[in-house]
Amino acid sequence: MAATARGGGETFDLEMMRHLDPLGAVCTLLTGRPLWGTPPIGLDLPRVEYLRCPHADWLRWDRMRGGWRLRYAEFWWFERRAAAWIRRHADAFDVVQVCELPTLVYALKSAGVRVPVVMRVTAPDVYDPHRALERADAVVASGTSVARLRSGPRPDAHDVPNGVDVARFRADRAESRRRLGLAEDAAVVLYVARFQTVKNHAVLLEAFAEVTKSIPDTILLLAGSGPLQAETRARATALGLGGRVRFLGETPYERMPGVYAAADVKAISSDYESFCFAALEAMASGLPLVVTRTDWVPRLVGDGEGGFVVPVGDARAMADKLLALLRDPDLRSRMGARNAARAKAEHGWTASAKKLLSVYDALTPRPLL
């Protein structure tokens, strides 16, 4: 999906490729592109191979009875084509890394492909009917997924943390607000997430409606796309939020630093997160956060340290903490500075790239490092 959508999984793969390159690794990205037209996301990488496949991003599969089967079929199409491509070109590579896609891992191992296959898991509840996790030559993950994998099918799962390019997320606030048409003194809340059920935009809208009762001029920026975007727009209108909620759509990654810089507070209202890239990006941008209690993200933020943690689905609690931050510039500044320092000290991409390269090195007959 790297050429069709930009989420956490895609960010990891693209950033890891960029940071493996100076370490001497020559990486090729194999990704899907829509059946018609050009990829909606440009990839500024030297080696990219595209396979045409359906990408029904507009389809509300997560709200349809049995809709997951349509989603599974879409991925199955790509996985089968990818397996055939990799078999034809296997001799050109030392390692094949797959971002989840268990059917692809299963197809490669069943075909007897001799190149080691590394499976990266983005969430521990991956649908794995072929037990591909057990067949992969190595499994890498981050966040809460690591412990769950180690206590289950892969005791040898490697912890390769997600990272953030701290230098990238340093845009000018005044210029960023000007570009987005925001007043310099406006109170701005940001949520960066795909419009799908697990991200629970509905509870954030309810919380934001309460915030505007106390601070009427507050703006909510929603960056992202997805099948529930139209429904979220309708919900915002029904709550009377009108122009207070701005839908930024699928925002190119290179513009995201400016989006973060324009905000005062970053909100995360998800029902579940394994490891949230948007949280790291907000931290690197020096923002305080209000997040739901979803295992790993609260560990990044620290309740009362880099922001506040509220119960999942509790709109009232989220509204109270958003108001606490919006009313206290000094508190925002202290929490934001703590987050920026932690992101810089603990979550750089280079360290993760070196760790991933060591996983590859252990699988190959000749040293890669």
pLDDT digits (tens, 9 = 90+) for 108-140: 999 999 999 999 998 777 888 899 999 999 999
- In this predicted structure, what is the pLDDT of residue 271? 94
The region of weakest confidence among 54-63, 96-105, 303-312 is 54-63
Confidence of residue 58 (pLDDT cuts 50, 70, 90): low
Q: What average pLDDT does this structure show over 270-278?
A: 85
Dihedral sign, CA of 12, 17, 18, 21?
positive
- In this predicted structure, what is the pLDDT of residue 276? 82
- How many residues can be counted in the chain? 369
pLDDT digits (tens, 9 = 90+) for 179-227: 999 999 999 999 999 999 999 999 999 999 999 999 999 999 999 988 8
Q: What average pLDDT does this structure show over 332-353?
A: 92
Confidence of residue 332 (pLDDT cuts 50, 70, 90): very high
Take residue 348 and report the two structure tokens written for it: 């750089």
Question: Beta-carbon neighbour count of residue 44 at 10 Å?
Answer: 9
Domains and CATH numbers, the chain: 8-163+348-363 (3.40.50.2000), 173-346 (3.40.50.2000)
DSSP 90: G
> Is residue 118 helix, strand or coil?
strand
Q: How far apart are CA 193 and CA 200, in angstroms?
A: 9
pTM for the model? 0.74
- In this predicted structure, what is the pLDDT of residue 200? 96
- Mean pLDDT, the chain, integer: 90
Q: How far apart are CA 284 and CA 22, in angstroms?
A: 23
State the amino acid at position 312 in one-letter form. Answer: V
- In this predicted structure, what is the pLDDT of residue 75? 81
pLDDT digits (tens, 9 = 90+) for 279-305: 999 999 999 999 999 878 998 899 999
Q: What percent of the chain has pLDDT over 90?
A: 65
